[in-house]
Amino acid sequence: MEISIVIPLLNEAESLPELTRWIARVLEAHGLSYEVILIDDGSTDDSWSVIETLGAEDATLRGIRFNRNYGKSAALNVGFEAARGRVVCTMDADLQDSPEELPELYRMIVEDKFDLVSGWKQKRFDPLSKTVPTKLFNGATRVISGIQLHDFNCGLKSYDQRVVKSIEVYGEMHRYIPVIAKWNGFRKIGEKVVQHQERKYGVTKFGLERFVYGFLDLASITFVSRFRRRPMHFFGTLGSLSFLVGILITLWLTGEKVYLSLQNLRARNVTDQPLFFMALVAVIVGVQLFLAGFLAEMVQLNGPRRNDYLVRETLN
């Protein structure tokens, strides 16, 4: 099978018939063998009934239904596990992503040998309350990750099958799949300008809080990806610096006290100076960070995934 289209959805019953017909029309016109995997993320409308009806009429369509709403990351992770295509594409179910983009996204993976291609909605049909925070969010992600994409959160993406079978998407990390892929060694990441449609049915499922959570998730994934296998490098470095600063301040205060006393000059007691207590806090925090590093190393040493290295290919 050439292409799998993974579509997470929540309360999109109205758009599903039109979307699946549109996908079929485009891919059949290009002679691509495909499957469509619809993941119902705990919908409370008739989405699953619509999926059952469509599945009975179309053998290329598969459906997965969650017992409750787990979020887009969970839906994508399950869809990636179920996908069988050489190339795996993702798109939203609200008709704002155009299936007309799928053949070119497929070609960029197969012919141009990209590991991942992300869509860029250069012209968006969204209010300023959504577009401005999106630009700030994408800018911060580019700086931290080093990946020069304009639209990390675009749902329209294509992947080499090796990518989706090698990564795990959890929490709210679907925004950072390109970052996860890069830190797993899939560095050929491309971008394609894609058409953004106006919403035809229903309402958006995301509010402004996603940008707050997005920055927190970015900090989390940055730390985990860089220091998961060597937590002592992070905690130990911070702990050592904090401890060293505290010790140096204490020595300086003590030395100053001794010098002034030898010169028969008036000198304040070391413990009467606020700087001493700041130094004491720095020493204590440094020791705690150092111990946290040791504990994290012990947890990592006994973890089941301490040696989960990805082998790209082998030659016998």
- pLDDT tens-digit map of 5-57: 999 999 999 999 999 999 999 999 999 999 999 999 999 999 999 999 999 99
What is the rounded average pLDDT of the residues 188-201?
A: 84
- The pair of three-digit structure tokens given for residue 101, joined into one six-digit string: 């983009």
Q: Which helix (H) or strand (E) holds 108?
A: helix 102-110
Q: Which amino acid is at 20?
A: T
Question: What is the C-alpha separation between 293 and 69, in angstroms, rounded?
Answer: 36
Q: Which CATH architecture does the domain made up of 3-227 adopt?
A: Alpha-Beta Complex (3.90)
Tens-place pLDDT, residues 111-150: 999 999 999 988 776 666 666 777 787 888 888 888 989 8
Give 143-189 pLDDT, tens digit per residue: 888 898 988 888 999 999 999 999 888 877 888 899 889 988 899 99
Overall pTM surpassing 0.95 (yes/no): no
Torsion from C-alpha of 76, 129, 145, 74, nearest 10 degrees: -10
Domain extents in the chain: 3-227, 231-301
Taking Cα atoms as reference points, which of 218, 222, 204 lies closest to residue 131? 204
Average pLDDT over all residues of the chain: 86
In the DSSP assignment, the letter for residue 299 is H
Of 17, 7, 15, 14, which Cα lies nearest the Cα of 41?
7
- Per-residue confidence (pLDDT) for residue 316, from 0 to 100: 67
Q: How far apart are CA 284 and CA 184, in angstroms?
A: 36
